């Protein structure tokens, strides 16, 4: 069976492709730019706006794993275009091609759509998936970390400076990118236990991580004992304005992200856990954080 993948050149997608090739899968992956040849991967050049590329991606595939999505945007309308319109286009191409199976990577932020345009767009995309004719499963991962990640990297870098800013209160779950990739592949065969269901996977830590606890764990990973700076919603929004002024469209902390970061509960729900017979996390988080820090150092990021 050929697995079609969107977002294969991104943070999650690259780990997914590495793991899938290791398991012997045949892959077809969408990419906006030409990619170096890779045994086992058929690259399809195009994006989510390119219906012809999506048709080529889906042709003859046994499953689509839809990873591609916009996480950060200066223009909030881009969330609608990419996350909602792009998902609609992927579904349409898969239905026309007769692809039986869709695994959709959403976000835990879809649980609170009023907090951010990103979360709202992911929820609307989920609604499209649910109403499709495909055999679907939706995955709402919490914060994803690991090698190549540029989002949580900001916290690693801050820890090396001795101060880690976090939301003032609340908890959040985490998942290592390799564990998420394992889950996505485990869901491809489908079956009664996973069909037409939504899952919230994590690292297995009950109740998630207190923000200060996570900041200290990141500090430990880089060999520091940082000061944890708890920021209120207003302070996060102020920091976002500064980041946007300094880095423009490349800002990591936008007003949209500051809004949902300040929400106190980003821990996964036990009711939405993946059945243990299907998947369980393998990466212990403190060890995963240390390995991630080592990867950053090896790449010269830290």
In a domain, 242, yes or no: no
How high is the pLDDT of residue 260?
A: 80
pLDDT tens track for 159-193: 999 999 999 999 999 999 999 999 999 999 999 99
Q: Which residues contact 231 (CB under 8 A, 6 or more apart)?
A: 165, 166, 167, 168, 239
- Is 38 among the domain residues? yes
Q: Is residue 118 part of a domain?
A: yes
Residue 210 placed within a domain: no
What pLDDT, on the 0 to 100 scale, is given for residue 262?
86
Check which CATH number belongs to the domain holding 132 and give it: 3.40.50.720
The domain tally of the chain equals 1
Domain that residue 92 falls in: 2-145+173-204+266-282
Going by pLDDT thresholds of 50, 70 and 90, the confidence category of residue 73 is confident
DSSP 201: -
Show Cβ contacts of residue 286 under 8 Å, excluding neighbours closer than 6 positions.
217, 220, 221
Residue at 127 is within a domain: yes
> In this structure, is residue 293 part of a structural domain?
no
Domain contains 69? yes
198-227: pLDDT as tens digits: 999 999 999 999 999 999 999 999 999 999
Of residues 28, 24, 38, the one with CA closest to residue 3: 28
């Amino acid at each position: 069976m050929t697995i079609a993948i969107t977002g294969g050149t991104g943070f999650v997608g690259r780990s997914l492709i590495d793991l899938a090739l290791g398991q012997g899968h045949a892959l077809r992956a969408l990419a906006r730019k030409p990619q170096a040849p890779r045994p086992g991967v058929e690259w399809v050049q195009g994006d989510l706006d390119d219906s012809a590329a999506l048709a080529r991606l889906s042709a003859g595939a046994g499953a689509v794993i839809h990873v591609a999505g916009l996480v950060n945007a200066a223009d909030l309308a881009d969330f609608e275009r990419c996350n909602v319109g792009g998902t609609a286009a992927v579904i349409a191409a898969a239905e026309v091609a007769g692809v039986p199976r869709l695994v959709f990577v959403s976000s835990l932020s879809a649980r609170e759509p009023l907090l951010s345009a990103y979360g709202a767009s992911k929820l609307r995309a989920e609604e499209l998936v649910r109403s499709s004719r495909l055999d679907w499963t939706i995955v709402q991962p919490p914060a994803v970390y690991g090698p190549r990640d540029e989002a949580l990297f900001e916290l690693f870098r801050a820890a090396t400076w001795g101060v880690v800013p976090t939301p003032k209160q609340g908890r959040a779950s985490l998942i290592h990118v390799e564990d998420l990739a394992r889950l996505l592949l485990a869901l491809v065969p489908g079956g009664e236990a996973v069909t037409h269901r939504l899952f919230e996977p994590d690292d297995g830590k009950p109740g998630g991580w207190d923000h200060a606890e996570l900041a200290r764990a990141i500090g430990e990973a880089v060999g520091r004992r940082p000061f944890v700076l708890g920021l209120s919603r207003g302070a996060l929004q102020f920091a976002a304005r500064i980041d946007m002024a300094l880095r423009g469209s490349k800002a990591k902390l936008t007003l949209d992200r500051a809004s949902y970061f300040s929400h106190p509960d980003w821990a996964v729900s036990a009711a939405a856990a993946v059945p243990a017979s299907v998947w369980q996390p393998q990466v212990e988080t403190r060890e995963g954080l240390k390995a991630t820090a080592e990867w950053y150092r090896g790449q010269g990021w830290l």
